[in-house]
A and B are shown apart, each in its own frame.
Chain A
Amino acid sequence: MTDKNNRIPFDEDNYTHNINRDNERKLDRRGFMKTLVGAAGVFAVSSLPWGAVAAKELLGLGNKEYPHQKIADLNAVAIGDAVEFHFPGEHDSALLIRLGDEKFVAYQNACTHLRCPVFWVKDKNEMICPCHHGKFDVETGAPTAGPPRRPLPEIEVEVKDGAIFAVRVKRYEA
């Protein structure tokens, strides 16, 4: 009686050694199928957020709207001239350039390198950042020379009642 648990194998008639771990981690066919169904569930759930953001884009919820802001009168800006303004906030300095009779472009003019103000050089037909001589294409806002690597954020412009209005900031596409 005293060496009851010293025999090998000992009698498993007590409640402290009653856990049988043999083959506990073996994955049988049924268990494997369960795992596959679970994986399908994980895939289904994890594709939901992608659908959600896609639906958000389709419904146009990502486009922020700001109140339209008058930049200048149409007559006050000659062709080839630039006007500074602020849009959408009062600290977001921006630049409107009249390229033709009906053609206006506007950009937020903080340089995408270190946020120096970019200005318009009429006779060179370029937008130049004075800090490190970054240059931007006036038609698209894309960087053409110097340290900046990203385009300037473009502002949509609308001509209404003989005045120029800033409508919205275009979605940034890197």
Chain B
Amino acid sequence: MKRNYISVALLCGILLLNIVFTQFMVHQYFYENYVNTLIFMSLNIILFPIAWLVYKRDRRKA
């Protein structure tokens, strides 16, 4: 069985982005830039379906 670690790396990157966006979201909230908070929240939410698609693509390939 040939293993593909590209998807794993992609998911790790997505997790890193999640952490970064969450950090920005919280900080922008306390800096009272509420529009930025909303932007980072939507980015965080969009990352979930992306991660799921990466996983699904990987499973289809195998």
By a beta-carbon cutoff of 8 Å, the part of chain A in contact with chain B is 29-30, 32-34, 36-37, 39-41, 43-44, 46-48, 50-51, 53-55, 57-58
Given the contacts A47-B41, A55-B38, A33 and B26 also touching, CB distance less than 8 Å? no
Chain B, range 1-55, C-beta contacts under 8 Å to A: 3, 5, 7-8, 11-12, 14-15, 18-19, 21-22, 25-26, 29, 32, 34-35, 37-38, 40-42, 44-45, 47-48, 50-52, 54-55
Pick the contact of B55: A34, A46, A51, A57 (CB < 8 A): A34
Assess whether A44 is in contact with B47, with CB atoms less than 8 Å apart. yes
CA A43 – CA B18 in complex, angstroms? 7
Interface size on B, residues (CB 8 A): 34
Determine the main DSSP class of B at the interface with A: helix
Whether A47 touches B22, Cβ cut-off 8 Å, given contacts A29-B3, A33-B8, A36-B12, is: yes
Query: Are B37 and A54 interface neighbours, CB within 8 A?
Result: yes
Bound together, the chains give a CA A11 to CA B47 distance in angstroms of 50
Q: List 27 A-B contacts (CB under 8 A).
A: A29-B3, A29-B5, A29-B8, A32-B8, A33-B55, A36-B14, A36-B15, A36-B55, A37-B54, A39-B15, A40-B18, A40-B50, A41-B48, A43-B19, A43-B21, A43-B48, A47-B21, A47-B22, A47-B45, A48-B41, A50-B41, A51-B41, A54-B34, A54-B35, A54-B38, A54-B41, A58-B35
